[in-house]
Homo-oligomer: A and B are copies of this chain.
């Protein structure tokens, strides 16, 4: 394909991160499908971290993103330019399974179409509902994934590792969530108040009455605010705006005295910004297991299932008094480095 033909086939959302002409250079390509345009800042931060990971560790590869809304056209174009040695990725997150079917359907398509290429599902939490519909979707995913004998699935916590082993015949590797591969120095910000970051989606299990009690109780610490890591003030976040929104969320979290959340990435952003954080669960335990698998040595972050206000009060005080420590997870990404190396 020459540059002119290529230009005719490019649509918005294909390769927003590079000069289009570099689609045709000699470098080994790493294609990322499913790059999110929706406003979940957790998933945006994952895509941000994925790009850093490849660019820092493998600068000699050409990293090419395909936005989620351009999956169809992206598949068509990549089919024409992909070379034997290239690598196909689908972005990480907590959406592999039956809960986010639009994304799952794109993932199946990508794994099936590129079945002859080295393929990876970047670090995910996996959950198929134990219902008739959930089982049906699991079967569809198995059928699609199993056509690809070159597929590796990266599990980001131990619960998912077991699910993947029991569900798919694919290779499986085990690493933390991609956002934990970032090494951002926390900005020193003036802190005030308590920030509740709470789900409003199908994974929500925290009781609203309990939240109301907790918010009332929190007023003794300072002004109380409630938000979510899924933004509602914008409809989409495209590649160019990703860093801006991610950094704004870090700034918001880093300006709080403590975060109380049922969001995995609110916990992760709290770690990045040295912000004390109390974490409750979601419907299938992805925050809980990420915490117990990788993060339970952190003295300023704590997972809990209790709804006892007295117990929570003690926890919050402990977290706010801690001099934030660090866990070192760089080595835990070695399986992912090894995957991309070969």
Contacts and interface: CB of A to CB of B under 8 A. Distances in A.
A60 B187 contact: yes
B341 A188 contact: yes
Contacts of A60: 187, 247, 250-251
A341 B185 contact: yes
Nearest to A337: B185
A76 interface: no
A243 B59 contact: yes
Nearest to A57: B185
Contacts of A337: 185
Contact of A59 (B57, B247, B330): B247
B59 A340 contact: no
Interface string A149-186: 00000000000000000000000000000000011110
A52 interface: yes
Interface size range on A against B: 20 to 34
Nearest to A331: B328
A162 B184 CA distance: 31
Contact of A342 (B59, B182, B188, B250): B188
A185 B247 contact: no
Contacts of A243: 59
Contact of A56 (B56, B330, B342): B56
A57 B184 contact: yes
A337 B187 CA distance: 11
Interface in A177-219: 182-185, 187-188
A58 interface: yes
Interface in A15-68: 52, 56-60
Contacts of A57: 183-185
A287 to B, nearest CB: 24
Nearest to A243: B59
A185 B61 CA distance: 11
B340 A58 contact: no
Nearest to A247: B60
A251 B60 CA distance: 9
Interface string A243-256: 10001001100000
B52 A185 contact: no
A251 to B, nearest CB: 8
Interface string A299-342: 00000000000000000000000000000001000000100111
A337 B337 CA distance: 25
Contacts of A59: 184, 243, 247
Given A185-B337, A188-B341, 6 more contacts: A56-B184, A57-B183, A57-B184, A60-B247, A60-B251, A187-B341
| CB-based closest 3 A-B pairs | A57-B185, A185-B337, A60-B247
14 contacts: A52-B56, A57-B183, A57-B184, A57-B185, A58-B184, A58-B185, A59-B184, A59-B243, A60-B247, A60-B251, A185-B337, A185-B341, A187-B341, A188-B342
